[in-house]
């Protein structure tokens, strides 16, 4: 959400209901609900100060397994 006081170069974050997806950092991101998994992984990587691509490589197979087993579902 944009607002006053944003620093130059800061990216606008997606909001609930906004569809996001496609390629991000060379990795195809999968949409789940209203927010793409890739966006969540990028945010977590930023918080933990780790490489987003490495974190995605670790987490995406786990997310796919959750989808396959029905624990997560597409809306």
Per the document, the length of the chain is: 75
What does the pLDDT read at residue 71? 80
Total number of domains in the chain: 1
| Residue 4 placed within a domain | no
Residue 6 Rama label (left phi>0; alpha psi -120 to 50; beta): beta
The runs of H, that is alpha helices, within 12-74 are 37-48, 52-69
Mean pLDDT by 10 residues, the chain (75 residues): 49 49 53 72 94 94 89 71
| Residue 13 placed within a domain | no
| Residue 41 placed within a domain | yes
Rounded Cα distance, 19 and 8, in Å: 24
What does the pLDDT read at residue 6? 47
| Residue 45 placed within a domain | yes
Nearest to 55 by CA among 68, 67, 73, 43: 43
| Residue 52 placed within a domain | yes
What does the pLDDT read at residue 61? 93
The residue range of the domain holding 65 is: 22-69
| Residue 33 placed within a domain | yes
What does the pLDDT read at residue 39? 87
| Residue 36 placed within a domain | yes
| Residue 2 placed within a domain | no
């Amino acid at each position: 959400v944009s607002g006053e006081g944003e620093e130059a170069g800061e990216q606008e974050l997606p909001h609930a209901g906004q569809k996001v997806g496609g390629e991000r950092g060379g990795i195809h991101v999968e949409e789940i609900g209203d927010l793409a998994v890739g966006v969540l992984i990028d945010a977590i990587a930023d918080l933990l100060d780790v490489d987003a691509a490495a974190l995605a490589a670790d987490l995406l197979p786990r997310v796919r397994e959750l989808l396959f087993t029905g624990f997560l579902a597409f809306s």
